[in-house]
Structure 1
Amino acid sequence: MSNFTVKRFLTYFFRGLLFVVPFALTIYIIYVILQWLDGLIPVNIPGLGLLIIIVNITFLGYLASFFITRPFFELFEKYLAKIPLVNIIYTSIKDLIGAFVGDHKKFNVPVTVALNSEQTVLKVGFITREDLNALGLPGFISVYLPHSYNFSGNHFLVKKEMVHPLPMNSTDAMKFVVSGGVSGLEE
């Protein structure tokens, strides 16, 4: 085989790999998550456990929306918040989920934060609270800066002058950050 043919073969192989691996891993991860969720309720019909979970969660959301049943949910949460270790875990998880899907979404204002005084190094983040007067920090805001290729991040309290809005929606901004700047911008 000639050197040209080997290079062409490798080029096609890596292009194929670039398509197949992300697709296969995405399908596999979704499959594993769905299989785990379906296995939470042991029934012999595939998918029925997941369907039961979805229906029950929707029904609880429906009940929690009524003014008659809402006090029971609030009372349950009030007692849950009084248990020392459970309080930290429950409220943290509830606040995190509420930041993405609740009525008071927090990750919907993408911004850049200047990391130096010359404002030549910027990091993409999301405003989570615009008023920190309660902490004795007037003129500061709360910004979450996610890490690339990770499900973690840092939380900073930043002077408002160091934060600038981004002209993009929050979904694209999160894709941009998590992918390390590889995706999230329209081509």
Structure 2
Amino acid sequence: MKKNSSDKTDIKRVFISGIFTILPIAVTISLVFWLFNKVDYIFRVPLEKLLGIHLYGVGIVITLILTFAAGIFATDVIGKRIFNGFEKVMHKIPLVGMIYSSVKQVVDAFASKKGEGFKNTVLVQYPSKGIYTIGFITTNAPDSINGYTGEESVFVFIPTTPNPTSGMLVAVSKKDIVYLDVSIDNALKIIVSGGIVGYKEN
């Protein structure tokens, strides 16, 4: 009986080890495929309408080529100047400039080392009282909002799982903010993994 019990324990341990080995790979592949499917749809549909044939996967190929070309272009001295000029034009276009600037800031915040675009990891009661959600303080709310609420507030970005680049921006009173002793990097891991990755204090 002891031998059978030991065998069951070994099988359970091996199975659990397998789960923790496969899970990060599965989540990563799922996110990559989700992104590629979105991009593939954007490029594929117009080409299919133009040519009248099905072209599955062509959008992914085009995206990879464009991404690689953009990377080479952006790292070149002349390319940087041209790209900076393009950005200036984008910023001057009404609405487009606002959207481009906002998206770029969010992407830069996630791309920076350990999320330096964010100030603190916090808990806020969202979407209703009694439900606590992990978020990141981005900046202090303007006087126009503080004057309306009658309290000093901060903007908190609440990312979604498993894609943290999308989410909600909420203004929360400073007195309702719960500061966490968790780095931005660790908090992002918790959010992306859906809480599977353990809580790590600084």
1:125 to partner: Cα distance: 0.6
**Counterpart in 1 of 2:65?**
40
Contact 1:174–1:184 at 8 Å: present in 2 too? Answer: no
Query: 1:99 aligned to 2:113?
Result: no
**Counterpart in 2 of 1:59?**
76
1:159 to partner: Cα distance: 0.5
Q: Secondary structure at the match of 2:157?
A: strand
CA distance in 2, matches of 1:79, 1:120: 46
1:13 to partner: Cα distance: 5.1
CA displacement, residues 126-173 of structure 1 (integer Å, 9 cap, x when unaligned): 001124214444501100112233443221111000012211110101
May I ask how many residue pairs the two structures share in their alignment?
168
Name the CA shift for 1:148/1:53 in 2 (closer, same or farther; >3 Å): closer
CA distance in 1, matches of 2:123, 2:195: 13
**Counterpart in 1 of 2:174?**
160
Contact 2:160–2:167 at 8 Å: present in 1 too? Answer: yes
CA displacement, residues 19-76 of structure 1 (integer Å, 9 cap, x when unaligned): 235336646876997x8588416xxxxxxx84x6444322359956xxxx9xx93x64
5+ residue gaps, structure 2, are 37-59
TM-score, length basis structure 2: 0.58
**Counterpart in 2 of 1:183?**
197
1:17 to partner: Cα distance: 4.6
**Counterpart in 2 of 1:45?**
none
**Counterpart in 1 of 2:49?**
none
Q: Map 1:28-177 onto structure 2 (within 5 A).
A: 36=61, 39-40=64-65, 50=68, 53-59=70-76, 63=80, 73=84, 76-101=86-111, 105-115=116-126, 121-137=131-147, 138-151=151-164, 152-177=166-191
Q: Secondary structure at the match of 1:81?
A: helix
Sequence identity, in percent?
A: 28
CA distance in 1, matches of 2:162, 2:11: 26
**Counterpart in 1 of 2:47?**
none
Structure with the greater relative contact order (CA < 8 A, sep ≥ 6): 1 or 2?
2
Name the CA shift for 1:37/1:168 in 2 (closer, same or farther; >3 Å): farther
TM-score, length basis structure 1: 0.62
Q: Which moved more, 1:174-183 or 1:23-32?
A: 23-32
Q: Which moved more, 1:145-154 or 1:155-164?
A: 145-154
CA distance in 2, matches of 1:184, 1:59: 41
Q: Secondary structure at the match of 2:178?
A: strand
Larger helix percent = 2
**Counterpart in 2 of 1:23?**
25
1:182 to partner: Cα distance: 2.0
Q: Secondary structure at the match of 2:89?
A: helix
Name the CA shift for 1:39/1:62 in 2 (closer, same or farther; >3 Å): closer
**Counterpart in 1 of 2:51?**
none
CA distance in 2, matches of 1:24, 1:120: 33
Name the CA shift for 1:102/1:185 in 2 (closer, same or farther; >3 Å): closer
CA distance in 2, matches of 1:30, 1:147: 16
Contact 1:106–1:127 at 8 Å: present in 2 too? Answer: no
